[in-house]
Amino acid sequence: MPFYILQHEPIAPGLRRIAHEQIGIVLSRFADDAVPVQRQVHSLRARCKKMRGLLRLSRPSMGDAFDVEDQKFRAAAKQLAGYRDMDVFAKTIESLGGSIGEVNAQPTPIPVAALRRSLEIMARCQDAVDDWPLDIRGFEDLAPGLSRTYQKCLDAWGATLHEPSDANFHLLRKMTKYHWYQVRILERLNKWEIRKRRNRLRDLQLTLGNAHDLAVLQAILESQDDLQMQLLQRAITRKRELYANATRIGGEVYAKSADELLSDYSRWWTES
């Protein structure tokens, strides 16, 4: 089933369906020995972010339950933080004309205990979904969550323009993902404006993700005794190019205020 509320699907059941499906994908992939562990970990962490975006959309109706559930998904992902996909790392280096052999970086084994803890948390998340206090009847119940997340995006965007540092671009990427997931969930509106926004948000978060990979590579290279200066310079140059592209896309995506965006969505929801 799709990662959005269906055209004639009640909102609260739709959100619960999405949650069950996303968590179910994680649990089933860990049960499949044919899926490499690194891919399983990536799937778990990505879907935890999706679920945290969904929870932020429904936050106003959840009350204290929001913090409880949000922290569960955060904890599940945090158990596996730092275990980077070496395939992604190698591809980042290869995109610069280098090879993994030039960098002193070895894959870190993922502790079985950490995997077990993450899966146990995800199973508890699955059990809790049907008890979420989702008193959501119309878009007006989702509007505050959408507006709150988008305003945080605008704040991160403003901070990035003021100081275009790696840390600020990384925060912008994080908030952009949450907003992107929420736009996808609301795709039932089926308007070309929504599809265009969804696609531009995807472009932005992918660009920021590639830049983040280069920032990580830069930090590793700068920490090594045997500095690979040419590779480092290529990484920095490419990262700056991606930041420039992200800034251009961000100027389009974050041109409207939170009130303006909310007004658009309210109108589209009424017309759908």
Contact 2, 186 (CB under 8 A): no
Contact 52, 178 (CB under 8 A): yes
Q: Where are the beta strands (DSSP E) in the chain?
A: none
pTM of the model: 0.91
Exposed e or buried b per residue across 99-128, where buried means at least 16 C-beta atoms within 10 angstroms of its C-beta: ebeebebeeeebeeebbebbbebbeebbee
Contact 121, 75 (CB under 8 A): yes
Q: In whole angstroms, what is the distance from residue 24 CA to residue 17 CA?
A: 10
Spell out the per-residue pLDDT of the chain, length 272, in tens: 789 998 889 999 999 999 999 999 999 877 777 777 777 888 899 999 999 999 999 998 999 999 999 999 999 999 887 766 666 777 888 888 877 666 666 666 778 888 889 999 999 999 999 999 999 988 999 999 999 999 999 999 999 999 999 999 999 999 999 999 999 999 876 678 888 999 999 999 999 999 999 998 898 888 877 768 888 999 999 999 999 999 999 999 999 999 999 999 988 887 76
- Topology of the domain covering 11-271: CHAD domain (1.40.20)
Q: In whole angstroms, what is the distance from residue 41 CA to residue 170 CA?
A: 20
